[in-house]
Each structure stands twice: as C-alpha cells, then as structure tokens.
Structure 1
Amino acid sequence: MNPVITLLTLAARHGRMLLVAGLVAGIALPGVAIAFKPWLQEMVAALLFIAALRIGPRQALGAIRNLPVVVGIAAVYQLALPLTAIAVLTMAGWTGAPLATALVLMLAASSISGSPNLTILTGHDPAPALRLLIIGTAILPFTVLPVFWLLPELGTAAEVIGAASRLFAAIAIATAAAFLVRGVLLRDPAPRVVEALDGLSAIAMAVVVVGLMSAVGPAVTGTPLAFLGWLAIAFAANFGLQALAALVLTRTSLRDRAVPFAIIAGNRNIALFLVALPAHVTDPVLLFIGCYQIPMYLTPLLMRGFYNRIERRTVRA
C-alpha cells in the first residue's frame, strides 16, 4: 500500500486532534506563527482547493433549485443578523465599543474558507457548506453596504468590496482548478482516496491555524485577563450561533443540511476585514480575531456530539 495514502488516512482518523495540535503550536510558537502569517492567503486557497477536490463538482453545485435557499440563508446570516445586532447595540448605546465592532464584523462576514473541511471533520456532508461559502462570498460586496452605511466608523465600503471581490476570485480559481483535476484525474475516487483527501485537509487546516494565531501567543503571557475575556466572548458567539442555527434549521425543511449551515453560522471570515478597514478600527479587535480561531478549530472536537444528537433527534422525528 502507498505509504503516503497510509499516512494521510491516519491523519484523517485523527483529524480533530491535529487541529488541536495546530492551535497549541500557534500559541506556543509565536515565532513560527509570525513566519507563517505572510503565506496565509496561499494556504487558505490551498485549503479550499483540497475541499473542492474532495467534494467534486456534481456534489458542490447540487440541483439548481437549491440556489434560492442558499442565497436566502446567506442573506439571513450576512445581512439580517448584523443589522439586528446593530439595532440592539444602538438601543443599548454600545456602538463604537470594541466588543460591538467585533460582533458586527463577525456577523457581516461570509463563511470561512475552511467550512467544508470543518463539516467533514464533524462527519457530515460538506457540499452544502461549499455552496454557501461560494454564494455568501459572491453576495458579500452587496450585503456589507447597509452594514457599513449604518456604522460609518467602520470605514468605507469600497475597500471591503474590493477585498471581497479578491476573495471571491481566489475561491473561484481554487474551486475551478480542483474541479478540473477531479474531472481529469479523480472522476470516481475510491473510498481510500477520499479518506486520504480528508487527512490532507486536516493537515492543511492544522498548518493554517498556526499563522492565524500570531496575535494570541503574546496576549496569553502579556495580558492574560484580556485574553480570557475575549476568548469567552469568542466561544459564546461562535458556539452560540452554531447551536441556535442548528436548533432552528432542524425544525424546517432544511434539516438535512442543518449541520453544514449551522457550522457556517458561527464560523465567519472576519479576517477578511483586516485588509479592508483602517487600523484604528481593526487594532482593538485583533485579539478577538485571534481568539475566534480557537472555537473555530475546536468545532469538530466539541460540537460533533451536539450535532450527532441533533441529527438522531431529527431522524426519530
């Protein structure tokens, strides 16, 4: 048996622990994290390529009748939720606070590029996650406009639209390349090959998270109380949104896609705004963005049991 396939299969079977190892390495080795940071865009693109290669075009595209549903979910996540949050924060007089900015930016963001990979690691179908990732990124330039209009302190929407457009181009190129390879070389991959791709995905995610944790390591030792506070907020926002979305979706006709859609509800590409917003806006929330990676990468480990219970309950119903 091919030793590379064997190694990747082993990585697939221990994928959740690999993510934990990546988190630990990102915190414990800040020098390595900083060295990885300039390559984040390329690593995220590679991560998406692997996910699309594993899924294939037929599963990813799905039936055309699914398109309105996916667009609707993306609009709820990226437009309805942040606008509701702005309304609540305005009534409470909290707009402009770092916490308010962090939460609104998170809710306004589209899915992280690794959402199909997280879905795989929870043992569920990643195709709906990839569809929502692509559609959500495509409509992001339009959904951010009302959010930025209502919170002008976030900066101009034009820069965010440019960043979203670049992100969509990267997603489109990585996905098209993966579908081409799948169509030419992997038209009908054996289960062993699919499992090996899952292992490659887990390894890639573990490497990517090291770079994403570059701001966390110094905070753990320098400002531990601030770190713990932002970490608690990140866990509550991420897991809270996932749980709420799962409980709602399992009571609708979307119950068969509840898990991938719920994973995306809590795992958003807030880091996108780092390249679009002015430093005076992003600097106060950098620690939140770093802390946000921790529940994100612990989702397969800590939320898998919850999703399995939800799924069993739905099947019995």
Structure 2
Amino acid sequence: MGNAASRVLAWSARQGGVLLGAGVFLGVLLPPLAQLFRPVIAPAIIGLMTLVLLRVDIPAAIGHLRRPGRLCVIVAFHALVCPVIAWAVVDTLGLDAGIAAGVVIFATGGAATSGAAFARMVGLDPELSLIATLVTTILVPLTAPPMVYGLIGVDLAISLQAFAGRLVLVVGLPLLLSMVMRRVIGEVRLAPHGPAVDGAVVWLVIIYGIGVMDGLAARLLVDPWWVAQALVAAVVADFGLNLITTLVLAPFGWREAASAGMLSGNRNMALYLAVLPAAADPRLALFFAVCQFPLFLSPFLLRPVYRWARRLVHTAQR
C-alpha cells in the first residue's frame, strides 16, 4: 500500500466519526449518488466484514468464547428482551402503524456489521462486538420471525434459503477471505497497516450508507412529517436500547456492557432489506433506511460520552 494512500486512510480512521456523520447525509442530499451506490451495497458489506475480521485480535476473541455464559446473556438480551422492550414502548405510545412495526422489527435485527469497527473507533471491545455480531446475525432467521409475529402479528415470511445465501455472502465469504489474507500476507506484515485498514472500513461503511438511502429523498419530499416521525423513533430506538442494555449488563464490567449496548442500538437492517418479501409494507424499507442516521452518527456522538464514562469509572476504581 502506497505511503500516501496509507496516510489518507489512517487519517480517515482517526476522523471516522466525523466522516460517517457527514457521509450519511450525502445519500439524501445527492439522490443520483445514492442510486449509483445502491448496487454496490453487497460488495461493500463483504469488503467491510473482511477487513473487520482482518483486524480482530484472535487471542482476545478466543478469550470471550471461553466465557460462554456471558456471551449467551448478551445475545439473549439482544435478540429476545430488546424486542419486547421496543414493543412495550410503541404499544404504549400509539405510534403510526408503519413506524411502530418498523421499531419492533428493528429491535429483532442482528448487530450491525460495522459493530466491531465502531467499537474500535470509540474505544470499546471490538472482539466481543465481532463475536456477538456474528452470533446475533446467524440467529436472526430463528428468533426474529416468531418474535415479530408474537408481538405485532406481522409475518416476516423470511425465506430461510435466501437468508442462508445472504449469510454465506456476508459472513462465510469474508471469513474465508480474511483467513487466506492472514495466511498469505502474514500477521507481522499486516500489523503496521492496521490504521489504514480501519480507514478503508470507514469508507466502505460510507458507501453502504449512501446506497441504502436510495429513495429516501423522494419520500421526504412527498411526506416530510412521516419521515420526521420515523427519524425521531429511530433515534430513540437506537440510543434507548443502547442505554438500557448498558445499564442492565453493567455487572459484566463497563467496557463489556457498553459494547453490548452499542450493538443493541446499532442493528443490521441490510439483511432485512435483502430478504423481505415483495408483499411487505414498503414503509418498512424506508424506516430501515432512516435507521441509518443514528447508526452512522453514533460514533461521533457517543465517543465523548464513552471517554467521559471511562474517566468516571477509572476515578471510582482508585
């Protein structure tokens, strides 16, 4: 990798929160760009996951796997408890039916593919985030349909065959590619390029974020009030689930609880967009696009919060 490119990518990693926050608005402000990037969403996710796996600390990841009880609690809270919390809130508030359904379905999603990268960006635990992301993503076809049907009576009708194919693309292929790259390049030669890899991750997430905004600008012009309501609901769902999860799992330790919280707030809607049946409410896809705003803004907004919380915890432990 050229020195100039490495420096630019390393700078991108350091400014990741700002770049992500700005990038998410480009897809709305520049609809042709969103339309252009829409077809490359899948390749961007594959590249993103491959680079995230390249950056994982294998011994640290194995250390988390040696504590299966904690991992099971994190996954169960993410996949089973969070949807119930979301349903209880929207049922009490009496939101627009499309938005209410979107919030509950959002809360059943696996953790965002970018979870480990975001955790590294804000000083949390990327290895725990990666493992929880993989597990919650794999479990979605088993947990999400019954949860959604039981809570709001909506049949997601997710094709297990389509979902399995999608998982092979976004999990299996990146895992294979990262293993081959580790073997061919070697850990010693990979290590100095870590910041550049993190920067490449930032740009791949931006490309995904722009592409997923395709169609949102048109809906904003037609029904700005609905989009505004959806945005408020998405922000509250994201940061609300983050906060609740962090507080409930605090006995695991601040860093672990905050990592789990960020995963609970930032959910993977790309998988749903790919496998939702044609008969699904079209507002769901738009709501999932709106959910990208709090997701992309979370590193920028939460990094100072986590820095403050870390200082507070360290002071209390002295």
TM, length-normalised to structure 2: 0.88
Q: Which amino acid aligns with 1:36?
A: F
Deviation at 1:244, TM superposition (A): 2.2
Once the two structures are superposed, residues 90-140 of structure 1 have per-residue CA deviations (whole angstroms, 9 ceiling, x without a partner) of 6x5959921221111111111111111211221333111100011112222
Deviation at 1:242, TM superposition (A): 1.4
Q: Which residue of 2 aligns with 1:113?
A: 113
C-alpha distance in structure 2 between counterparts of 1:158 and 1:202, whole Å? 30
Q: From the superposition, tell whether residues 180 and 69 of structure 1 become closer, same or farther in structure 2 (CA, over 3 Å).
A: farther
Q: From the superposition, tell whether residues 67 and 166 of structure 1 become closer, same or farther in structure 2 (CA, over 3 Å).
A: farther
Once the two structures are superposed, residues 236-270 of structure 1 have per-residue CA deviations (whole angstroms, 9 ceiling, x without a partner) of 11111112222333x31243312321111101113
Contact 1:144-1:157 within 8 A present in 2 as well? no
Q: From the superposition, tell whether residues 156 and 267 of structure 1 become closer, same or farther in structure 2 (CA, over 3 Å).
A: closer
Q: From the superposition, tell whether residues 9 and 148 of structure 1 become closer, same or farther in structure 2 (CA, over 3 Å).
A: closer
Listed as ranges, the matches of 1:1-317 within 5 Å are 2-86=3-87, 92=92, 97-150=97-150, 153-155=153-155, 157=157, 159=159, 161-170=160-169, 171-188=171-188, 192-249=192-249, 251-317=250-316
* Partner SS, residue 40 of structure 2: helix
Which deviates the most, 302-311 or 186-195?
Answer: 186-195
Q: From the superposition, tell whether residues 196 and 38 of structure 1 become closer, same or farther in structure 2 (CA, over 3 Å).
A: same
Aligned CA RMSD, in angstroms, stands at 2.5
C-alpha distance in structure 1 between counterparts of 2:154 and 2:14, whole Å? 42
Contact 2:10-2:195 within 8 A present in 1 as well? yes
Q: From the superposition, tell whether residues 143 and 300 of structure 1 become closer, same or farther in structure 2 (CA, over 3 Å).
A: same
C-alpha distance in structure 1 between counterparts of 2:88 and 2:305, whole Å? 31
Deviation at 1:85, TM superposition (A): 4.1
C-alpha distance in structure 2 between counterparts of 1:85 and 1:265, whole Å? 11
Q: Which amino acid aligns with 2:98?
A: P
Deviation at 1:47, TM superposition (A): 0.7
C-alpha distance in structure 2 between counterparts of 1:2 and 1:248, whole Å? 45
Which runs of no fewer than 5 residues in structure 2 stay unpaired? none
Once the two structures are superposed, residues 172-208 of structure 1 have per-residue CA deviations (whole angstroms, 9 ceiling, x without a partner) of 2202321331243141357641111111111111111
Q: From the superposition, tell whether residues 147 and 96 of structure 1 become closer, same or farther in structure 2 (CA, over 3 Å).
A: farther
Contact 1:71-1:136 within 8 A present in 2 as well? no
C-alpha distance in structure 1 between counterparts of 2:206 and 2:310, whole Å? 27
Q: From the superposition, tell whether residues 228 and 174 of structure 1 become closer, same or farther in structure 2 (CA, over 3 Å).
A: same
Contact 2:41-2:207 within 8 A present in 1 as well? no
Contact 1:70-1:135 within 8 A present in 2 as well? no
Deviation at 1:296, TM superposition (A): 0.4
Which runs of no fewer than 5 residues in structure 1 stay unpaired? none
Contact 1:57-1:179 within 8 A present in 2 as well? no
Aligned length: 314
Q: From the superposition, tell whether residues 253 and 123 of structure 1 become closer, same or farther in structure 2 (CA, over 3 Å).
A: closer
